[in-house]
Amino acid sequence: MKRIDVKECATLLKEFDNYLILSHRNPDGDTLGSAFALKRTLDLMGKKSYVRCVDPMHHKYSYLWDGIDNTEIQYDKIIAVDVADTKLLGDSFEELYGDNIFLCIDHHMTNKEYAQHLLLEDRAAAAVVIYEVICELGVEITPEIASCVYTGLATDTGCFMFSNTTPTVHRIAADVMEKGADYVNINRLMFETKSLSYLKLEQMAVSSIESHFDGKCAIMTITREMFRESGSSSTECDGIAALPRKIEGVKVGVTIRERHDGSYKVSMRTVEPFDAAKMCGKLGGGGHHAAAGCEFNCPLDEVKATLLETIKAEF
Amino acid sequence: MKRIDVKECATLLKEFDNYLILSHRNPDGDTLGSAFALKRTLDLMGKKSYVRCVDPMHHKYSYLWDGIDNTEIQYDKIIAVDVADTKLLGDSFEELYGDNIFLCIDHHMTNKEYAQHLLLEDRAAAAVVIYEVICELGVEITPEIASCVYTGLATDTGCFMFSNTTPTVHRIAADVMEKGADYVNINRLMFETKSLSYLKLEQMAVSSIESHFDGKCAIMTITREMFRESGSSSTECDGIAALPRKIEGVKVGVTIRERHDGSYKVSMRTVEPFDAAKMCGKLGGGGHHAAAGCEFNCPLDEVKATLLETIKAEF
């Protein structure tokens, strides 16, 4: 493994002509935006490349690859983008490509250094690093490339809301907007659109919220019945576990989600000084300080009672 | 009325020593952020000033005036910030001050030109114009001023999500973040925190949503009863009118809100090619292409029927 900088990365990219670009499993806006920004840049350099991911890419991202030829080619070298660990390529891809990654462009400081060349920077999004590489290459930033970069920036920062947002992120956003990034439609697609079934599920979930310990703890329950009634699927519910902690005054927000098999998945979100990982750890789960989880295989009443007992000990 | 530019505005501000700064009724983050950014700047210039608003300022904005002396003083001149029309000062303030506004700093191109001097620019937020004035004055941007400016930028653009966001907005955000704007806490306060009563109101509002024209139009109704039952107040409902248009496939989103006096306020949000201003204009209201409103003084059934008829004509 050799750590390289942006300049060396640009030099390296010029050396070969045919690339396979890999994004991480469960692909999000940053891994896909970065991958297609790079592919579009290589296209402009007269090189051949294609982007692959072990999981299907959601149709809402289709503007990223609109109008380009992404068919398989014979590649010389493999590039992984926004992939901190070969495990994140997904099982089959890890086996196929894991030992043979020529270049990794990433922003996770936990990167496992698996690639032959690693361009790693502590940035809010992989798209920031990709943008720097494109600028170094001197390739013209087309509106399409601008949209790819913008997508990575905006999705990894929650539309510039999360604490990882930096002045650099805002300045690059300004630059790519001037280069023609279709930010109005991208923002709408990424942040504004909810399905009616999801809204209905959210509504039922909110009505289930119970408040404890003077409003400092909120417990929300989502049952199989609610999924059925609302018509919502669990794939669109990634963000819902954040809801209880958004309530004013809540320090410990808990979401209990009933699984298909009747077991319960618990997500806990906390505000300082409460430690979600510690509480969930006591219950056989784990995670981070502010976001953790655990599981239960018992009636809902017991789940709640056990949770409340554990949380009470922290107050 | 005399139109002035940023330079002339800075010169004007230096001329007098005691100012009353007025923000618009139902004060939001932009009018308050701009007003307190200006007041803090005048403080640093050794001048006296205080900010007033006809309506109470929500406690969530209290960091804007934290640590400053905002008591009443004898003022020489009145400045209105983010106030397009003296009506927006509120009835009693319009009567008290409406004829005597020395300077207006605004970003609404519909400004009624009521002030003796008008600094008007077509920007996303009044805070953009205020920022330019502060830079022109050459006053040091303290972390507190930076937080005031950031608040105006972020709240008027929905945290950089709305279509009014420009490269300039992003660049000023970057600048004030570097000057110490407390953007992490501001974002959490403005965009992440919801009261339980507001969540309950939202839940009731969602359950009222009716879908029309193959799901392309959604109508949501918020009644006085819902306000009573949820315990929510209209002051925390600024964003709720955006909800119907967020539903997947909706092109025309309508929110009907019952007022205390039983009349109805209608907010319409549209996606291209639908023109909210045109439709609301037909109903005696007005606004922008993507966001407009109108009012009704008749039973709810009639309100809906009239709206649907008007919307139907556009399909």
* Sign of the CA dihedral with B23 first, then B29, B33, and B34 last: negative
Out of B167, B191, B215, name the one closest to residue A178 (CB). B167
Give A35's Cβ-side CA count (13 Å radius).
31
How far, in Å, CA of B199 to CA of B206, rounded?
10
How far, in Å, CA of A286 to CA of A292, rounded?
6
Give A149's Cβ-side CA count (13 Å radius).
30
Residue among B148, B119, B153 at smallest CA distance from B136? B119
- pLDDT at residue B238 above 80? no
The three-class DSSP label of residue B158 is coil
DSSP letter (8 states) at residue B105: E
Query: In chain A, what are the domains?
Result: 2-192 (3.90.1640.10), 196-312 (3.10.310.30)
Interface test with A, best of B62, B155, B165 (most A CBs within 10 A): B165
Give the distance from residue B70's alpha carbon to the nearest chain A alpha carbon, in angstroms: 27
CB pairs < 8 Å spanning A and B: 108
| Cα–Cα–Cα angle for B157, A198, B220, rounded to 5 degrees | 65
pLDDT digits (tens, 9 = 90+) for B103-114: 999 999 889 999
| Cα–Cα–Cα angle for B272, B273, B278, rounded to 5 degrees | 105
Contact call for residues B146 and B153 (beta carbons, < 8 A):
no
B41 or A237, higher pLDDT = B41
Six-digit token string for A250: 């809540």
Q: Which residues pair with B270 in a beta bridge?
A: B252
The band of B195, judged by pLDDT with boundaries at 50, 70 and 90, is confident
Out of B187, B194, B203, name the one closest to residue A161 (CB). B187
Cis ω for the linkage preceding B244 (within 30 of 0): no
- The reported pLDDT for the residue numbered A236 is 66
DSSP strand pairing (B217-222 vs B210-212): antiparallel
pLDDT digits (tens, 9 = 90+) for B153-181: 999 999 999 889 999 999 999 999 999 99
- The reported pLDDT for the residue numbered A128 is 98
Six-digit token string for A39: 């592919």
- The reported pLDDT for the residue numbered A115 is 98
- DSSP state string for A102-117: -EEEE--TT----SSE
pTM: 0.84
Q: Could you count the other beta carbons within 10 Å of the beta carbon of residue A310?
A: 18
CB < 8 Å to B206, chain A: 199-200, 202-203
How far, in Å, CA of A9 to CA of A129, rounded?
10
Residue among A61, A81, A66 at smallest CA distance from A21? A81
- Taking an 8 Å cut-off on Cβ atoms, the answer to whether A215 and B199 are in contact is no
